[in-house]
Amino acid sequence: MRAEDIAEEFPVVPADADALDAARMLAQHRLPGIVVTDPEGLPYAVLPASEVVRFIIPQYVQDDPALAGVLDESMADRIAEKLHGKTVREVLPKHLLDVPSARADDTIIEVAALMARLRSPLVAVLKDGKLHGVITASRLLEAALRR
């Protein structure tokens, strides 16, 4: 089985898209992450939903999770404000700029190895120099377990 056989259509966003809109898309569709594209529509990065969560949670709460219990609901309501006026590019951590992309003719084992090495919840599949689709970790597992 090849990457192109299990790749699916998947929402993508340009790097200059509004970060709050991208976060809403992640939440609304319950996506594990989203492919971020460059101006030519080619994969630029993958933004995992977990990184958006890290971006909106204050660093001091990440450093000491016990503080989360003492924050009131008004603070929780303001958390998403950190995304207001930001682009997706600004939310991307620098270490996520390695784009996990596979060729259409890669095997699912090659895709799994890439996904594992980069710890990415999804991999972009390229065919003829263009984005063909995306393989999520759950889609990869489904295909692998069918055997």
Picking from 78, 82, 99, 100, the residue whose alpha carbon sits closest to that of residue 91 is 82
Q: What DSSP letter does each residue of 116-129 carry, written as one string? A: HHHT-SEEEEEETT
What distance in Å separates the CA atoms of residue 130 and residue 82, rounded to the nearest whole number? Answer: 33
Phi-psi region of 55 (alpha: psi -120 to 50; beta: other; left: phi over 0): alpha
pTM: 0.74
pLDDT tens-digit map of 62-105: 677 776 666 666 665 666 777 788 899 988 877 656 678 899 99
Question: What does the pLDDT read at residue 126?
Answer: 94
The pLDDT averaged over each successive group of 10 residues in the chain (147 residues) is: 92 92 91 88 85 75 70 64 85 73 94 90 91 92 85
CATH fold of 3-145 reads CBS-domain (3.10.580)
List Cβ neighbours of 67 (8 Å cut-off, separation of 6 or more).
60, 61
Domain boundaries, the chain: 3-145
